Structure 1
Amino acid sequence: MATATNTVTLEATATDPSIAILREAATTKEPLMVKEHSPIPAAVSADTASRVEEAARTGRPSFIKSHARGGASEQAAPQSAPEESAVLTDARLLETGAIRKPVPVDPWRRILHSITGGVINLRDGKATRERAAVKARIGARIDGRARFVPVMSRKGGVGKTTVTALLGMALADARDDRVVAVDANPDRGTLAERIAKPSGKTVRDLVRDSDQIHGYGDMSAHVTRDETRLDVLASDTDPHVADAFSDDDYRAVADIAQHYYSLVLTDTGTGIVHSVMSATLDLADQLVIVSGVSIDEARLASETLTWLEANGRGELAQNAIVVINQEAAGKTHVRIDEVESHFRSRVRDVVRIPYDPAIATGSAISFHELAQPTRDAARRLAALVVEGIRA
């Protein structure tokens, strides 16, 4: 077979079949002949060597010259499977310097980013990134019908209403859809009082006006909204009237609420056999059970799980989230780790909410003014609730 003058002849090896040969050809600018049994095509012209080397480096298909004994022909390198459009990401297609880093969430880093026009863009710290990840979990899409989440306890004074408010605020603050908390406590509930500027309307008014609710505008006249966009439907302040709130009344409220909200929280009473509780549990998608840190409070919360299991609600109990709420300041002599360990053996997850003096006053709660550990705990609870609903 005739070859060109000054032909460079090299043999590709099994470990390096092409790169060394191609680089030599690109350097010499001369035709390259490869021995017959080498693992690359018979011959590669020097003017295409750089293209083949690039293909070998990047994994992209390329065309190479192959001079068979019968004459020159052009053939394609083996093609990989067709790629989906999703693989055309910024990270793959843009030069490293052209990829825009996300704007920091941390206030000081954001200010620095703003005043320098983005020239200085410091990455958020680990804690900030973790909070952003939790917020994304809370904001996950919920398809289909409204979901119902009762918040329960067998004992008053453990912070059930507080937990309902914190959970609702954490959900509403991170989600794009609507969240409502319904006070179904027959013993003069105080949920609306934890939210500034009550509307003056109650669950009883909503039931009475049900045939006049034709849109969210009508619904919004019956609720109180806070800074996080959480809507709260208050119970009657007269305990005698509140006690008359029945199973059918709760179902009527739920039927209206499901048209305008993706998530409906219910602050239940402490009476587990009260008529409203039956409807509440029938509609429940996820349970939150609140325990204090004392021995009797932990026992009552555990007995609530036992009652649920004994009354055909075993799946709800198993998938429940227990909140251990520390209402009082100072150190407790109870081994909270042991309390948590007990509940972890019975439910899906456990969340601790630390003592916060801003909550202990009993006044309206401003979510963004709470201590960071309190907000972190509320957001973790909210993320777990959303994940349980989506499971």
Structure 2
Amino acid sequence: MKIFVLTFGISFLLCFCAIAQTGQMNSFSEPQAMMLPCSDCHICDKPTVENPCLKACPRHSWKMTTEHSEAEAPDIIIIDELESLYSPVEFHHKNHAHWTVMQKGCSECHHYSPEGPIPACNECHTKEINPKNLRQVGLKGAYHQQCMGCHQEWSLSTDCNFCHVKLDEEGGMPEIQTAERALITEPDRKVYNVEMDDGPVVTFHHQQHSQLYGIDCMECHKGEGCGVCHTPQDKRTAVAQKPEDPHARCFNCHEDASCDKCHLQKETEGFTHAQTGWPLSRYHKPLTCNACHPKGKKISRLNRSCTSCHKNWSSSNFDHGNITGVTLGEIHMGFDCSDCHLNKRFDKKPSCDGCHEGYAYPDVEPEF
């Protein structure tokens, strides 16, 4: 009886492991169907055969377990599995990998990424469509699904010859490699008129946020389509964007700001450091905010002492004439900074009262 129970138990365990392993293997080739809301594919409430009102096919990263770096793949990949009417496609992987930071990273294209090397598209997508699994497109559909969304948006073309060269056109180059890209002209500011009696005008100083504050494009524009910036204004088509609170982008930095910080009665001028009570010298003006204020922290007032930033600074290695425009004479060169700059307030006019009566800078300069 004990032998029977033991034999039955081992058999049951082996069967269970085999079933589990089979399920795991099948999960690679045919991922389990997901219960998706209709709105993932349709933009209307009641789609019909005549009017399916379909969106572009959604991509679901149903298995993403490993992060990869672009260095793992070659710079250029030749796609030639489907070579028939057209020559193989030269895909510049490195360039595209850089651009994925604006979207979802590697999973923008590699929606299946188990541990280890990323599997090639043809490991799951076959040349012929599998009629038993219509959820999984064929290899041709998979390639085009990857590329057409972004490229159609900025090229405004779905013509095959735009990306492909026919086999009989030796030495030809697809239009995609020679087409002109729209130059991005960064606006100085954007003014929004909103329905708000107490503050109908919002002025957003775009150049200051990118150039002065050092904010990367993707910090505000992550998830937007390429055409939002790279397609000429007069040729842009309506591109579905993820709806969001119009304040969402700003709250990353201005979460605690009150409404009247931005909502005013008229346009505003850009920020100047003089508004803080500390006008910047000609040497500090070209610097970005993060040169003095640590990135990732709320900007606050700094210690005005030169040595708070310039650790090795001293009166002996400071070129007073070149930096301030005032050359000190032999007598004044031996003085300590605080002898003329009271409390080392270098943003204030120096005082001569400690040694001289009736002298005032800049009426009298210390050049004797």
**TM-score range, shorter-chain basis?**
under 0.3
TM-score by length of 1: 0.20
- Relative contact order higher in (CA < 8 Å, ≥ 6 apart): 1
